[in-house]
Amino acid sequence: ECDRLYDIVEVNKVYYISRAVIKNVRKGYSFSSIKNDFEMSFIPETTITPCDDVTPNIPTLQFNFVPISRLQEVSKDSVIDVIGICKSTADVQTVTRRNTNQELKKRDVSLVDRTGTEVSLTLWGDQAEKFDGSDNPVVAVKGARVSDFSGVSLSLISSSMLQVNPDIPESHALLGWYSKEGALLQTHSLSTRSGGPMGGNANWKTLAQAKAENLGQGDKPDYYSVKACVSIIRKENCLYKACPSENCNKKVVDLENGYYRCEKCARETTDFKWRLLVSANLTDFSDGQWVTCFGKEAEQLIGASAEDLGEMYSKSSKEDSRYEDILNDVPFKPFIFRLRTKMEVYNDESRLKTSVMSVAPVNCVEYTQKLLKDIAELRKLL
């Protein structure tokens, strides 16, 4: 019956189902992670017909979320529901399955929730390739598998359901928390994958050390943390008009007739959203490094939203210098930066591209504790 009905059923579609068999779930023998007492089985007489009726009575996917901080209490291989803000994403990697030699695409995503705890979630296949975490969306998963690989981590399995920015109260609450305080919170990671963007290994460097160690010159990107300040910010072109679609940040073309065209979405609209794409030179006591900072990270660095800056930019004049004043106030304030660096090819020329993955004000107490710990480690070498 799977072969007969597989192409008919699609995710997020509604159907009329007739002549199926309803039976009690045999505890321990069900292939589903849903905690129901009954299950439905299809037989040769079963029919499935699409339901095109528009009604608010159709139930949505139900979740039983486990707070990320409690995942340490969950047994290995358990299947749970989780929700969190996508704090950072790693690049797509290709791995080979040992038993079949089949190549698979994977991407690690770092989720954080209001408990201030992070965990790594692994996406596979098309979901790994298509996932866009650049705007720190809410990610909700029904049926993620818990692993003890490198601490505690999560992975999607064939029966997992992933939703980005779902229209549920938990999602709206998370977005509000992250925009007000969560983005600047010092979080604790349950996953300790070294060398990646997941917070287990901060990989502290000075900018001179990063250059001396040739970070970013390998096949994979390198991530490191640094305490630095902005010495130069390129004010020109740091704002642009972007597609207003929820999951698109492509620059739109002003058609000069009241419409804006997005080539990626292949559509024209009368609206746009302001987006930040900041090029800045970071400086610490040892060296400097040009970086690119965009989205929420750029807003945190500048201290204003893209929409507010866009409005100021549109009204900027000799009498109204708020836009210039805000940008002029950015340099020489210390921040903790999480950087991603990788060699990329542009117009047949290789260049090192360094991007800001996160930025936060310096917590003097925590940073002093880090320095004291570093000094203690150095004393052991004497």
pLDDT at 183: 80
User: What domains can you pick out in the chain, each with its CATH number?
Assistant: 2-50 (2.40.50.140), 68-188 (2.40.50.140), 207-241+272-379 (2.40.50.140)
What CA–CA distance (Å, rounded) separates 79 from 170?
20
What letter represents residue 176's amino acid? G
pLDDT in tens, 79-133: 999 999 998 888 788 887 767 777 888 999 999 999 989 999 999 999 999 998 8
What's the average model confidence in pLDDT over 179-203? 63
Q: How far apart are CA 339 and CA 228, in angstroms?
A: 11
Find residue 41's DSSP bridge partners. Answer: 21
Instruction: Spell out the alpha helix ranges (H) of the chain.
Output: 2-5, 125-130, 169-180, 207-212, 295-302, 306-315, 322-328, 364-379
pLDDT mean over 213-235? 89
Reported as a single tens digit per residue, the pLDDT across 132-143 is: 887 889 999 999
CA contacts within 13 A on the Cβ side of 26: 4
Structure confidence at residue 201 as a pLDDT band (50, 70, 90): very low
Among 1-10, 176-185, 356-365, which range has the highest average pLDDT?
Answer: 356-365
CA dist 63 → 80, 162, 168, 317 (Å): 9, 11, 10, 51
352-362 tens-digit pLDDT? 999 998 888 99
Of the candidate ranges 93-97, 277-281, 310-314, the one whose mean pLDDT is the lowest: 93-97
Tell me the range of 57-66, 238-247, 324-333, 363-372 where mean pLDDT is highest: 324-333
- The pair of three-digit structure tokens given for residue 82, joined into one six-digit string: 């989780």
Instruction: Give the other-Cβ count within 10 Å of 212's Cβ.
Output: 12
pLDDT number for residue 92: 81
- Cα(155)–Cα(147) distance, integer angstroms: 7
Residue 167 has a CB neighbour count (10 Å cut-off) of 8
Lowest mean pLDDT, pick from 38-42, 155-159, 200-204, 277-281: 200-204
Residue ranges with strand state E in 160-259: 161-164, 188-189, 222-233, 239-242, 253-254
> How far is CA 184 from each of CA 55, 299, 362, rounded to the nearest angstrom?
41, 12, 10
Q: Which residues contact 308 (CB under 8 A, 6 or more apart)?
A: none
Q: What is the per-residue pLDDT for 376?
A: 86
Q: What is the pLDDT of residue 194?
A: 38
pLDDT bracket for residue 264 (50, 70, 90): confident
Q: How confident is the model at residue 228 (pLDDT cuts 50, 70, 90)?
A: very high
Are 68 and 82 within 8 A, CB to CB? yes
pLDDT at 27: 64
> Could you read off the pLDDT of 11-62 as tens digits, one per residue?
778 888 999 999 887 765 545 556 678 888 888 899 998 888 766 677 778 8
Band (pLDDT 50/70/90 cuts) for residue 196 is: very low
Global confidence as pTM: 0.51
Q: Check pLDDT > 90 for residue 3.
A: no
Per-residue DSSP letters for 84-113?
EEEEEEPPPEEEE-TTT--EEEEEEEEEE-
With a pLDDT cut of 90, the percent of the chain lying above it is: 37
CA–CA gap between residue 103 and residue 351 (Å, rounded) = 29
